[in-house]
Amino acid sequence: MTSKPLGVAVLGLGNVGSEVVRILTENAADFEARVGAPLEIRGIAVRRIDGDRGVDASLLTDDPASLVEREDVDLVVEVLGGIDVPRKLIFSALEKGKSVVTANKALLAEYAGELNDAAEKSRADLYFEAAVAGAIPVVRPLMQSLAGDRVNKVAGIVNGTTNFILSAMDDTGADYAETLAEAGRLGYAEADPTADVEGYDAASKAAILASIAFHTRVTAGDVYREGISKITGEDLQTARSLDCTIKLLAICERITTPKGKERISARVYPALVPRNHPLATVNGAFNAVVVEAEAAGRLMFYGQGAGGSPTASAVLGDLVMAARNKFYGGRGPLESKYAKLKVAPIGDIPTRYYVSMQVADRPGVLATVAAEFSKRDVSISTVRQQDAGDGARLVVVTHVAADSALSETVSALEKLDVVTSVASVLRLEGTTE
């Protein structure tokens, strides 16, 4: 006795969409057994219907809006990319009570709130495990497994392109530009790599993670962001000499201001990470997320953060959940936004700095430089000086201080006569001092 099928619309037939369609088709019996009813693909929306797309051609349509509205579509999978088009389609689906699974981090980082409101109103589900860290279950653990805990920090490597580049620079000693070019040749970087290398992709994911972890709506605009395009081979060498490597981190953190207010922070930047930290060992295109919660302690999740199959795995897990809810009645976990915590500006965040500068090689330089730190109550942890060309290279690593005090110190250093140039400024993460 077979139950009435549930209809699925797939929007997009790129890397992820093709894998979603392939797995849904090949493992149809498993999906039916797991959901309780068969999942039937009603249509696949593509930009242009042409050539052999490797799927049943009769399913293809270039009219996603009509597909989404079809009476016999119960579930919509959105893997189009972009913002405006998928946004309208997802709204339209949710308003009609169809549940939606999306991998679209950029969309969610801007419009998760409105989309969740629409889902709430029509009692539909909105799932998006695939939007952060591909196949790695992070959204669901944060939203459900840790629902009874208090998350203090989420820190992760959530962009494979930049991690590939930084790992390769660390391995080969090569510089940024040539490594980016190599990443492009190998298919790890897109033709326009801006979203990845400037940290926009990671910032979208940070917004999503912070929203869930802190029960507060956080959008991409709330996330402080720096990319990796200024990292040099020399930075990685210096990092190595400090027993560190450099990673682009997405960090979501609960902090208490000096006045005792509870705030949150969401930020993305390349940072020095000690080599014995679990995130330092995450290489190539892999992703990892570390979660620190009050009762659970430190948890780490590791796996493939991108790619057609891994992302399809996350999409399909959500699809089974959404379909089960349709079949048995019931809903997935709702948005939790009650805490309404304020986002602290980057200047208020306690961080540590690594500053590498070219200085004149004469007596008193170190004293002059050190004075700029102490003026702003910034305590120095490590100093290294070595002869370099015309003058000397001075590397200072600080203890924790307010980011504003640290950045003001750097501005002051740049104005000093004895400092020829500040070659590099990076934050240091993954330590407790």
CA distance 99 to 102: 10
Whether 197 and 229 have beta carbons less than 8 Å apart is answered as yes
H or E stretch at 42: strand 39-45
Restricted to residues 161-220, the positions that interact with its own copies (CB under 8 A) are 215
Q: Where are the alpha helices (DSSP H) in 143-220?
A: 160-172, 176-185, 194-197, 200-214
Which window, 105-113, 190-198, 323-331, 389-397, contacts its own copies (CB under 8 A)?
323-331
- Taking the least distance from each CB to its own copies, the nearer of 168 and 306 is 306
Q: Pairing mode, if any, of strands 297-304 and 286-293?
A: antiparallel
Q: Please give the structure tokens belonging to residue 223.
A: 């996330």
Contacts of 377 (CB under 8 A, 6+ apart): 401, 405
- 297 three-state secondary structure: strand
| Annotation marks residue 205 as catalytic | yes
Does 315 interact with its own copies (rule: CB under 8 A)?
Answer: yes
Does 19 interact with its own copies (rule: CB under 8 A)?
Answer: yes
Q: Please give the structure tokens belonging to residue 177.
A: 């530009």
- Taking the least distance from each CB to its own copies, the nearer of 210 and 231 is 210
Which window, 185-193, 334-342, 360-368, 420-428, contacts its own copies (CB under 8 A)?
334-342
Does 100 interact with its own copies (rule: CB under 8 A)?
Answer: no
- 18 assigned to a ligand binding site: yes
Does 295 interact with its own copies (rule: CB under 8 A)?
Answer: yes
Least spacing, CB of residue 413 vs its own copies, in Å: 39
Q: Where are the alpha helices (DSSP H) in 70-193?
A: 84-95, 105-122, 139-140, 160-172, 176-185
Does 264 interact with its own copies (rule: CB under 8 A)?
Answer: no
CA distance 265 to 248: 16
Restricted to residues 362-421, the positions that interact with its own copies (CB under 8 A) are none
- 430 assigned to a ligand binding site: no
Residues that bind its own copies (CB under 8 A): 19, 23, 27, 30-31, 33-34, 129, 135-137, 140-141, 144-150, 215, 278, 293-304, 309-310, 312-321, 324-325, 328-331, 333-334, 336, 338-339
Which residues contribute to the annotated binding site for NADPH?
105
Which residues contribute to the annotated binding site?
11-18, 105, 190
Residue numbers annotated as active site: 205
